[in-house]
Structure 1
Amino acid sequence: MHHGEQPPDAVIRIRHRDDPVGLVTEHDAVERAGAYPTLRLGAPLFGYAVDLGGGRWRVHELVEETPQAARDALAHRLRDRIAETADADLLAELTAARTVLDWQKVDEVTVGGCRHRVIRADTFVRFGPDGPEPPRPTDPDPRDADTSDSFLGGTDLVADPAEPTGLGAAVLKVELLPARYPRAQVPADVYADSVAAVRAYPDGVLLPTRFAVAEQVGAGWQPTSRAVATPQEARDLITFEFRWLVPRLADPTEAEAAEYRRAADRIESTRASEVTVLGRRFRVTRVETLLRFSADGPEGPRPSDPDPEPPPEVHFARLRAEGRLPDHP
C-alpha cells in the first residue's frame, strides 16, 4: 500500500474516552500499530446506502464482491418494499427504480425523496514480521456467533464522517485516508482511480472490524475465507474446512484426516486464533474497512472495479435469445 500526502479538507474529530474499557482499547490499538506497522490495501467490498440527510447515510449489505451484486441487493430490498407498501405514489417510484436496476448498471436511484446509492469500501490488513495481525484482546468475541452486533451480521449502521471517534480510530483514519494501491502492483487504471479517490473522497468512516482466515504460503499469506463479523465466526470457518471440506475435496489419508479433526478440536477447546496442521499454518486475521466520503456522500464503484455480470433482465434476455430460457408467456 502506498501512502501519499494527507487528502485535502480531511477533518478528523476525536472523542476522548476515560472509561476503563476505552483506555484499554486505545492502548491495544497503539501497541498493535507498533507490532504490525504495515497496512496492506485489499480487495474492495460493495453494498448500498440510503441518504438520511445532514451527511448521514444508513449502510446496508456491505458484503458483496462486485458492484452488480450490490445493485441486485438493492433491487431485492426495493421488491420487498413494494410488497409492504399500500401507498400508490411510493409504489410507482419503487417499481420504476427496481425496473431501472433490473435493466441498467445504475449506481444511484431516488425513492420517496431519498437517494439510494451503491457504495464501495476499501479493506486493509495490518502486517508485522510474523504475518497478518490476529484478533486483539479487546475485540468482541462472543462464542455464539448469533450474538454478534455488527452490520455485517445483518444489523445496519449509520455512517457519519462528522461523528467524533476515539483516538485509536482517529490515528487509523489518518493512516488509511491517503492510502492508494502501489503503482507497480496493479494495472494503470486501478492505480489512477485509487489516486483520484483520495482527492475526490477526502473524508471517511471506519466501519466495524471484520475477521478472515489466512494461510501462510511460502514467505507470504493468502486469504482463504470471506470476512465475517467476529473471530469466533472465522474459527468456525476453519473447523468446518478441517472436518468437512478437507475430507471431501483434498482426498487425505485416514491418518491425515484424523490430524485435521484433532486440529479442529484444538481450535474449539482453546479458541486459538492460529493453528498449524500437517505443515499448514492458518491464522484468524483482523480486516479494517474504510468507507470514503465526499461532501456528496459515500464513494461509489470506480470505473476500474471488476463488474462482469450484466443486470439480471439483460442476462435473461440473452438466455432467451439463445434459446436457453423460455419466452415470457
Structure 2
Amino acid sequence: MDNGEQPPGAVIRIERRDDPVNAVTEDDAARRAGAYPNLRVGAPLFGHAVDLGDGRWQVHALVDDAPQQARDTLASRLREQLADTADPDLAAELTATGQVLDWEKVDEVTVAGRRHRIVRADTFARFGPDGPEPPRPTDPDPREADRYESFLGGDDVIVDPDAPTGVAEAVLKVELLPAHYPRATVPADVYAQSVAAVRSHPNGVLLPTRYAVAEYVAGAWQPSSRAVATAQEARESIMFDFRWLIPRTGNPSEDEAAAYRQAADDLEASRADEVSVLGRRFRITRIETLLRFSSDGPEGPRPSDPDPDPPPEAHFAQLRAQGLLPDPDTPQEEHP
C-alpha cells in the first residue's frame, strides 16, 4: 500500500473517551498496530446510501462485490417500499425509479426528495512478520454468528464524516485516508483513480470491522473467502468447506476426508483463529473498511471498478434477442 501526505481538506475530530472498555480497546489497537504495521489495500465493497441531510448518510448493505449487485439491491428495497406505500404520488415515483434501475446503470436516483447513491468502500488488512492480523481479543465474537446484527450483514447504519471519533479510530483514519493502490500491483487506470480519490474524497468514515479467511499458499497469504460480519462466520465458512465442499469437489481419499472433518470439529470446539490440515494453513483475517467522503457525500463506483453484469431487464432483452429467453408477450404452448 502506498501512503502519501494527508489529503487537503481532510478533517479528523477526536473525542477522548475515558470509559474502561474504550481504554482496553484502544490499548489493543495500539499493540496490534505495532505487531502488524503494514496495511494492504484489498478489493472494494459496494452498497447504497441515502442522504439524510446535514452531512449524514444512512448506509445499507455494504456487502456486494460489484456495483450492479448494489444497484439490484437498491431496486429491491425500493420495490419493498412501493409495496408498503398507500401514497399514489410516491408509488408513481418509486415505479419510475425502479424501471430506470432495471434498465440502466445509474449510480444515483432521487426518491421523495432524498438522494439514493451507490457507494464504494475501500478494504484494508494489516500484515506483520507472521502474516495478516487475526481478530483482536476486544473484537465482538458471538458464537451464534447468524444472529449477530451488523449493518454489513444487511442492517443499516447512519454515518457522519464530521462526527468525532476515539483516539484509536482517529489514528487509523490518519493511516487510511492517504492510502491508495501501489503503482506496481494494479493497472494504470486503477492506480490513477485510486490516487485521485484521495484528493477528491479527502474525508472518510470507518465502518465496522469485517473478517475473511486467508490461506498460506506458495509462501504468501491469499484471500480464500468473502468478508463477513464476524470472525465466527468466517470460521463457519472454513468448517463448511472442510465438511461438505472439499469431500464433494476435492476428490480426497477417505483418510484425507476424515482429516478435514476432524479439523472442522476441532475448530468448532476451540473457536481458534488459525487451523492447519494436511499441510494447508488457514487464518481468520481482520478487514478494515473505509467509506471515503467529499463535500457532496460518499464515494461512488470508479470507472475502473469491474462491473460486468448488465441491469436485469437489459440482460433479459439481450437473452431474448439471442433466442435464449421467450418473449413475455408471446403465448407459450401448453403441454399435457
**TM-score tier after normalising by the smaller chain length:** over 0.9
Q: Which residue of 1 aligns with 2:311?
A: 311
Task: Describe the SS at the equivalent of 1:16.
Answer: coil
One-letter amino acid matched to 1:268: E
What is aligned with 1:30?
30
Mapped to 1, the partners of 2:47 and 2:155 lie a distance apart of 13
| Amino acid in structure 1 at the alignment position of 2:217 | V
User: Which residue in 2 is equivalent to 1:14?
Assistant: 14
C-alpha distance in 1 between matches for 2:115 and 2:160? 16
Are the equivalent residues in 1 in contact too, given 2:63–2:153 (CA < 8 A)? Answer: no
Q: Post-superposition shift, 1:165? A: 1.0
Q: Paired residue for 2:196? A: 196
TM-score, length of structure 2 as denominator length: 0.97
Distance 1:15 1:261 in 2: 48
In structure 2, the residue matched to 1:328 is 328
Aligned amino acid, residue 216 of structure 1 = Y
Structural mapping, 1:1-329, within 5 Å? 1-329=1-329
In structure 1, the gaps of 5 or more residues are none
* Partner deviation per Cα, 1:194-226 (whole Å, 9 max, x = no partner): 011000000000000000110001221111111
Q: Superposition RMSD on alpha carbons, in Å?
A: 0.8
**Alpha-carbon distance in 1 for matches of 2:104, 2:237:** 36
Q: Which amino acid aligns with 1:227?
A: A
Q: Distance in 2 between matches of 1:310 and 1:257?
A: 40
Superposed structure 1 runs of 4+ greater than 6 Å apart:
none
Partner-residue secondary structure (3-state), 1:22: helix
> Is the partner of 2:50 in helix, strand or coil?
strand
What is the Cα deviation at residue 312 of structure 1?
1.0
Superposed displacement of residue 153, structure 1: 2.0
SS in structure 2 of the partner of residue 21 of structure 1: helix
Distance in 1, matches of 2:117 and 2:61, equals 12
For 1:17, the aligned partner's letter is R
1:8-51 Cα deviation digits (max 9, x unpaired): 11111112111111000000000000000000000000010000
Q: Residue by residue, what CA displacement relative to the aligned partner does 1:67-105 show, whole Å, maximum 9, x if unpaired?
A: 111111111111111111110111111111111111111
Q: TM-score, normalised by structure 1?
A: 0.99
Quote the sequence identity (%): 72
**Counterpart Cα distance in 2 of 1:26 and 1:140:** 14
Aligned residues: 329
Secondary structure (helix, strand or coil) at the match of 1:109 reads: strand
In 1, Cα distance between the equivalents of 2:154 and 2:183? 36
- Give 1:265's aligned amino acid: D
| CA distance in structure 2 between the partners assigned to 1:17 and 1:208 by the alignment | 18
Q: What amino acid is aligned across from residue 163 of structure 1 in structure 2?
A: A
Q: CA deviation at 1:328?
A: 2.2
